[in-house]
Amino acid sequence: MQAQLIGLDWGTTSLRAYKLATGGEVLEQRALTSGVMQLPRAARIIDGQACSDGFELAFDEACGDWLDSAPHLPVIACGMVGSAQGWREASYCETPADVTQLGRALVSVRNVRGVEVHIVPGVIQRSHLPNVMRGEETQVLGALHNLPRQATDNLLIGLPGSHSKWVEVVDGRIVHFETFMTGELFAVLCEHSILGRTQQRGAAFDGAAFDRGVQVAQSLEGQIGPLSTLFSARSLGLTAELGASAQPDYLSGLLIGHELTALAQVQHRRRNSAHLPSILLIGNSQLCARYSRALPACGFARVTLAEQATERGLWLLAEAAGLLPGVQP
């Protein structure tokens, strides 16, 4: 199949590049560590010009050879590349947000090759405590594409990660979302707190320890909140009730359990219903597996996984923006 689009998922710590054919089918993909906060620094020649700009260097490493052979390919990018620390800032679109709205709000930057890189804006939810996302909106819209409209009536889309997002959609539009800093908090506690001193990391996943953490988060003690239960990741080790290799998975289960318990409470209130929505997960397979394990224990009985959401989302946004040959916005 012939390539028609280059799509980039450009986050804080990583850059994923996709060469896409019709419908967002992936012909080739690459993963680099050149996120916006760790760009390359070694200058080199790009298209006959000396270049030291980190964004230019990372972009050329990701897809320069693709453009050498097909310079006509349009390029679209989502994620932190459009943040204030990115290549060019793309202002947030407000909720409710859909493919059409976001596709019409792309901003572009011209690189040293003369290629226009079209950047997807993030989404902002204005309220007493504003909430924002960059990159997740593309994944959500890509995951929705193949779902029948009625399947979204009682659906919550989860994107586990450093800043986990839980997104509500109505009629194909992002209408509301919550953010939990679960992944970042886990990393900080393991690397920079007393809890990490007795941990042994790198062992095989300990499901029993993880489940125990989830159960503690749901217990009477857990109702006090994570600030009260976190120390148990150390005290259970000191009393020889939790081995060093089990402690990271216990802490993971504890934090995810607190996240999902709070999420269930929020969903009951927002929907004014005793029934919790179905869950569609998007993201890293190992992390999604942990959430899939914990969700039923927290009352979410129906859990499925989405595949290739980012690629489909980038294709749909490029289509909405009129970037593809023969397609009008």
- How many angstroms separate the CA atoms of 74 and 175, rounded? 29
Residue 2: count of CB within 10 angstroms of its CB = 7
* CATH (residue range 5-178+309-320): 3.30.420.300
Q: Which two tokens stand for residue 93?
A: 């679109």
Longest dimension (CA), the chain: 68
The residue assigned the tokens 């023969």 is 326
Q: How far is CA 205 from CA 3, 192, 211, 245, 304, in A?
A: 40, 22, 11, 9, 21
Q: Fold for 181-298, please state it.
A: Nucleotidyltransferase; domain 5 (3.30.420)
Omega into 325 within 30° of 0, i.e. cis? no
Question: Domain residue spans in the chain?
Answer: 5-178+309-320, 181-298
Q: What is the pLDDT along the chain (329 residues), one digit of tens a residue?
A: 899 999 999 999 999 999 999 989 999 999 999 999 999 999 989 888 889 999 999 999 999 999 999 999 999 999 999 999 999 999 999 999 999 999 999 999 999 999 999 999 999 999 999 999 999 999 999 999 878 777 777 899 999 999 999 999 998 999 999 999 999 999 999 999 999 999 998 889 999 999 999 999 999 998 999 999 999 999 999 999 999 999 999 999 999 999 999 999 999 998 888 889 999 999 999 999 999 999 999 999 999 999 999 999 999 999 999 999 765 55
Helix (H, G, I), strand (E, B) or coil at 145: coil
Model pLDDT, residue 168: 96
**Domains 5-178+309-320 and 181-298 in one fold:** yes
Helices marked H in the chain — which ranges? Answer: 54-69, 99-103, 136-144, 182-192, 207-218, 226-229, 232-238, 247-271, 285-294, 309-320
